[in-house]
Amino acid sequence: MDHSAAGGALMALLETRGLVKRFNGLTATDDVDIAIEEGERVSVIGPNGAGKTTLINLITRMLEPTEGDIVFQGESITDRAPYEVVQQGISKSFQTASIFPELTVEENAEIAALGAEHGSFRLNFFRHRNRYPEVDDATRRTLEAVNLWDQREVPAADLPYGDKRRLEIGIALASEPDLLLMDEPTAGMSPEETNATVSLIENVKEELGLTLVLIEHDMEIVFEVSDRIIVLNRGRVIAEGTPEEIQGDPDVQEAYLGGVEL
């Protein structure tokens, strides 16, 4: 895919333009313009109800925008279906709902790898499942990246909580996306599991050449892994910048951090 714009200027991998989402009387996403460059790790932060999850759900096309446009690799994806967006290279790490508990770790990753392929391919795969080395390769690369290759034969239901959450990340990676979206990947994890997940997030970008958009409430993690931070409040972008810039931004202190010492 050619990522350079017609004029020769580098264009963003993902852009939202005037994105609005209203739920009845409530504006959850209020005229949001963001641009994510290829290879960046960007965190989206903001208080509860700021519209972070809604923004991600608009990008993955799980929600219909009220107004505005979403552009990925230079093309509008606003009218695409969620599966088309996955095939185009956007993946989201879902909650545990995306895991099939009765299937093994490997089977879960295989199914996710197939999600990136076309329908006819999928049907044929289940008839002739040994004939698709590209799926085997993607499955293995993914499980190695999330450190679950040794547990590939284990039914997903038998994994400890932290490993399950890493399998979710693996499932999101198995379609070999260009852009990975993560919504609070460390929620509910023990400190050890959180540390393991943070190193995983830091490694996947290097190993798989990903662009990452991370929603995370733990500021320590945000400051550790982000190249850039976008701050949402009441559906609007109120600040954007490097971790250093955000840390010193008085609007952010006021709206979000409530004067908490960072």
Residue numbers at the binding site for ligand ADP (CB under 6 A): 23, 26, 28, 46, 48-54
**218 near Mg ion, judged by CB under 5 A:** no
Q: Which is nearer to Mg ion, 29 or 139 (CB)?
A: 29
Q: What residues contact residue 181 under an 8 Å CB cut-off, 6+ apart?
A: 56, 59, 60, 90, 91, 92, 93, 212, 213
- The partner in contact with residue 120, picked from ligand ADP, Mg ion, none with C-beta cut-offs of 5 to 8 angstroms by kind, is none
Q: In what order do the strands lie in the sheet with 179-183?
A: 90-93, 179-183, 211-215, 41-45, 228-233, 236-241
**Cβ-closest residue to Mg ion?**
53
Min CB(173)–ligand ADP separation in Å: 22
- The partner in contact with residue 54, picked from ligand ADP, Mg ion, none with C-beta cut-offs of 5 to 8 angstroms by kind, is ligand ADP
Looking at this protein, which amino acid is placed at residue 126? Answer: F
Which residue spans within the chain are E strands per DSSP? 14-23, 26-36, 41-45, 67-72, 75-76, 90-93, 179-183, 211-215, 228-233, 236-241
Min CB(53)–ligand ADP separation in Å: 3
Q: What is the total count of residues that contact Mg ion (CB under 5 A)?
A: 2
Per-residue buried b or exposed e for 208-238, using 16+ beta carbons within 10 Å of the residue's own CB? eebbbbbbbeebebbbebbebbbbbbebbbb
Q: Which is nearer to Mg ion, 163 or 216 (CB)?
A: 216
Q: Which is nearer to ligand ADP, 53 or 88 (CB)?
A: 53
Min CB(57)–ligand ADP separation in Å: 7
Distance, in Å, from the CA atom of 67 to the CA atom of 174, rounded to the nearest integer, reads 32
* Binding residues for Mg ion restricted to 92-131, rule: CB under 5 A: none
Cα–Cα distances in angstroms (integers) from residue 73 to residues 40, 120, 257, in the given order: 14, 25, 34
* Binding residues for Mg ion restricted to 24-83, rule: CB under 5 A: 52-53
Q: Which is nearer to ligand ADP, 55 or 174 (CB)?
A: 55
- The partner in contact with residue 26, picked from ligand ADP, Mg ion, none with C-beta cut-offs of 5 to 8 angstroms by kind, is ligand ADP
Q: Which is nearer to ligand ADP, 56 or 204 (CB)?
A: 56
**Which residues sit at the interface with Mg ion, rule CB under 5 A?**
52-53
